[in-house]
């Protein structure tokens, strides 16, 4: 947002721009900007907005006896299904897991981002690359890697056995899902946090120490509030995909810990109850949208 505001052309000193000229110039700029954005617009409308509308429309439709969807007799039947005990259980479990994932990411990422922002540029860039490296490998493959790591007699279990904690069976537990999610989404927490912390003037921390704040007070009253935009941005970027995660819970969680993402897929593909799947998706979207709006309200600008 702020980028657009900053690039508004300033009139050059000495050139007298008449109001008419300025207006014409502005109109031309606007047209040119629109033309350049056209491919992106077209793509978004075709492959994002239209499917979105289809999902919302389907959520008000009726499932017929053959597993198809009748696009008539609009009703709220599928939304009523959200009150179902099983659904509520899955919903709560998903939110709790997503929240735990977010908090763990935050706890790991904050010190890391702070450390990174206090290094000299060369080291910083190296660390940034380190954060990005996992993206070079397919997400699915990386999840299967965790499948192997956490599996019975896998490396993780061998290590815990070796240090005397004993054999661990983490695969197909919620712990495994959280571990996988934290691993998968940690970069999304680190990057906005780093961007926010790196921007903070180090002298503010010095000033707080000079004004009798101890290390913790300095963090609590200066560093944390000033890095809040990064905290919020990172939390949203981790919480939202965790809430709707499909691949990781599917691979590491097994069948025992169904989460929202898997449940929605089941509605579409196995249960063939598209309206119900669509209503779940819609609700999920509304929750995420609200969270995002709250973030922007809080004045964050780092997304």
Partner 1 sequence: MTAAVEIAGITKRFGEVVAVDNIDLQIDDGEFFAMLGPSGCGKTTTLRMIAGLEFPTEGSLKIFGNEVGTLPPNKRPVNTVFQNYALFPHMSVRDNVSFGLRMQGTTKSEANRRAGELIELVQLTGLESRKPGQLSGGQQQRVALARALVNKPKVLLLDEPLGALDLKLRQEMQNELKSLQRELGVSFVFVTHDQEEALTMSDRIAVMDKGKLLQVGTAEELYERPLNRFVADFIGQTNLLDATVADDDMIVLGNGTKIKAPNPHSPGTKVAMSLRPEAIEIGRRGDVPADHVATSLNGVVSAMNYLGHSLVYQVKIDWIDLEVRTDPVASEDRLGPGDDVSIWWDRTADWVVPDE
Which residues are near partner 1 by CB under 8 A? 201, 203-204, 206-214, 217, 221-222, 225-226
Q: Which is nearer to partner 1, 203 or 256 (CB)?
A: 203
Q: Which is nearer to partner 1, 113 or 222 (CB)?
A: 222
With contact defined as beta carbons under 8 Å apart, do 113 and 192 qualify? no
With contact defined as beta carbons under 8 Å apart, do 187 and 131 qualify? yes
Min CB(8)–partner 1 separation in Å = 21
Kindly provide the residue ranges of all beta strands, DSSP E only, lying in the chain, ordered along the sequence.
Answer: 62-63, 69-70
SS3 69: strand
Question: How far, in Å, CA of 166 to CA of 153, rounded?
Answer: 11
Min CB(159)–partner 1 separation in Å = 39
Q: Which is nearer to partner 1, 56 or 228 (CB)?
A: 228
Min CB(235)–partner 1 separation in Å = 19
Question: How far, in Å, CA of 237 to CA of 11, rounded?
Answer: 39
Q: Which is nearer to partner 1, 222 or 237 (CB)?
A: 222
Question: How far, in Å, CA of 263 to CA of 269, rounded?
Answer: 10
Min CB(214)–partner 1 separation in Å = 6
Question: How far, in Å, CA of 275 to CA of 101, rounded?
Answer: 30
Q: Which is nearer to partner 1, 65 or 203 (CB)?
A: 203
Min CB(193)–partner 1 separation in Å = 17
Please report where in the chains the tokens 């929605």 appear, as a residue.
Answer: 264
Q: Which is nearer to partner 1, 66 or 212 (CB)?
A: 212
Q: Which is nearer to partner 1, 64 or 214 (CB)?
A: 214
Burial 18-54 (b: 16+ CB within 10 A, else e): eeeeeeeeeeeeeeeeeeeeeeeeeeeeeeeeeeeee
Closest CA to 251 of 179, 200, 198, 199: 179
Min CB(115)–partner 1 separation in Å = 20
CA distances from 6 to 1, 2, 33 (A): 9, 6, 15
Q: Which residues contact 93 (CB under 8 A, 6 or more apart)?
A: 174, 257, 258, 259
Q: Which residues contact 287 (CB under 8 A, 6 or more apart)?
A: 243
Min CB(232)–partner 1 separation in Å = 14
């Amino acid at each position: 947002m702020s980028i657009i505001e900053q690039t508004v052309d300033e009139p050059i000193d000495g050139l007298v721009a008449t109001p008419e000229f300025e207006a014409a110039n502005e109109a031309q700029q606007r047209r040119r900007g629109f033309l350049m954005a056209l491919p992106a617009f077209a793509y978004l409308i075709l492959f994002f907005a239209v499917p979105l509308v289809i999902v919302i429309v389907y959520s008000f439709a009726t499932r017929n006896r053959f597993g198809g969807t009748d696009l008539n007799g609009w009703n709220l039947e599928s939304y009523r299904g959200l009150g179902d005990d099983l659904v509520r259980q899955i919903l709560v479990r998903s939110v709790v897991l997503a929240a735990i994932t977010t908090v763990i990411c935050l706890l790991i990422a904050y010190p890391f981002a702070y450390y990174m922002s206090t290094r000299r540029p060369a080291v910083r860039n190296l660390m940034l690359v380190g954060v990005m490296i996992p993206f070079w490998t397919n997400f699915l493959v990386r999840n299967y890697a965790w499948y192997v790591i956490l599996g019975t007699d896998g490396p993780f279990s061998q290590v815990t056995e070796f240090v005397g904690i004993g054999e661990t069976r983490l695969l197909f537990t919620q712990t495994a899902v959280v571990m996988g999610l934290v691993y998968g989404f940690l970069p999304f927490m680190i990057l906005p946090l780093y961007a926010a912390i790196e921007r903070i003037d180090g002298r503010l921390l010095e000033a707080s120490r000079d004004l009798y704040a101890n290390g913790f007070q300095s963090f609590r009253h200066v560093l944390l509030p000033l890095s809040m935009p990064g905290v919020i941005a990172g939390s949203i970027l981790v919480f939202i995909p965790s809430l709707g995660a499909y691949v990781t819970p599917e691979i590491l969680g097994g069948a025992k810990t169904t989460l929202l993402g898997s449940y929605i897929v089941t509605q579409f593909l196995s249960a063939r109850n598209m309206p119900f799947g669509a209503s779940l998706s819609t609700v999920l979207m509304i929750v995420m949208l609200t969270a995002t709006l709250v973030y922007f309200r809080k004045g964050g600008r780092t997304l």
